[in-house]
Amino acid sequence: MIRVEDYHKAYRETIAVDGLSFDVPAGAVLGLVGPNGAGKTTTLRALAGIIRPTRGRLFVAGRDVVNDPTAAKRELAYIPDDPKLFDALTVREHLEFIAATYRVADFSSKAEALYEQFELMEKRDTMAQELSRGMRQKVAICCAYLHDPQAILFDEPLTGLDPYAIRTLKASIAQRAAAGAGIIVSSHLLSLVEDLCTHLLILNKGRCLFLGTLDAARSHYADLQGDASLEEVFFRATESSRTP
C-alpha cells in the first residue's frame, strides 16, 4: 500500500533524508522510530504530498504521490502530531466536510459509528475551539478514518489521549490493518510500537539503520537476548551514531 524508492530530501545544505527505500504491504503496521531529527516527519509529510522529494519516488496504493497527487491522496489519511482543526466548525461539521471532500457514501452511518467508537457522541455539536487537546486528536482520527483510506500515517498519535482513548486507538489500528490498510506509526513511545507494529524501520540522520520484523530486529543484534525489548534494540542500533 505504501512504497518509497530512493527518497532524498534536502533543505539547502541540510540532508534530512538520504536514500530511503521501504514498502508497507496491505495489513502491515510499520513502526517508524529514530532520534529527533532522524527524518521521520519529513518522510511522512512527503508521503502525504505536503513536501516534494528532492529525489526519488513515493507511492500510495500504486499512485505516484508527485505525478498523480489527487489519486494518491484519495487513498491516504495523515494524522500529524498536532492536527489543525477549524475552530469555528463543530465535530459533526468536520466530518461532513471530509465526507463532501472524499465523496463518502453512507456518511451518516459511518460517522455515527466513529462517534460511538471514540466517545464523541455527546460532542457532535461542540465547536473545535471548545474541545480539549485529546478530544481534538480524536476528531482528527475520525476524520482520517471516515473515507476508509488504504494507507494511514500516524505521527505521535497518542498525544493528549487518555488511557481509554489510547486503548481505542490501538484497537482501531489493528482493525484497520486487518481490513487491509497499510499503516505507518511514527512515535518516540517504543512501547506503543512494540505493542502495535508488525515491522520496524529505524532511522537516524536520514538513513535507514534497520528495516524488518521486530523479531528480525532482535536477531540482527545477536548479542541481545531473544526477548530483548524494543528499547534495547533501539539504543543498540543508534548508539554508534551518537556523538559524545
Q: Kindly list the domain boundaries of the chain, sorted by start residue.
A: 2-82+149-239
Say if residues 50 and 84 touch (Cβ distance below 8 Å).
no
Say what the pLDDT of residue 244 is. Answer: 47
Specify the residue for cell string 534530512: 16
2-82+149-239 CATH fold: Rossmann fold (3.40.50)
- The per-residue pLDDT of the chain, averaged, comes to 93
Q: 32 pLDDT band (50/70/90 cuts)?
A: very high
**Looking at the predicted structure, is the pLDDT value of residue 224 above 70?**
no
What are the tens digits of pLDDT across the range 50-104?
Answer: 999 999 999 999 999 999 999 999 999 999 999 999 999 999 999 999 999 999 9
| Percent over 70 (pLDDT), the chain | 95
How many CB atoms are located within 10 Å of the residue 24 CB?
26
**Looking at the predicted structure, is the pLDDT value of residue 39 above 50?**
yes
| Measured distance CA(58)–CA(209) in Å, rounded | 20
Q: Which residue has the higher pLDDT, 160 or 219?
A: 160
Helix (H) or strand (E) holding 103: none
* Rounded mean pLDDT, 189-210: 94
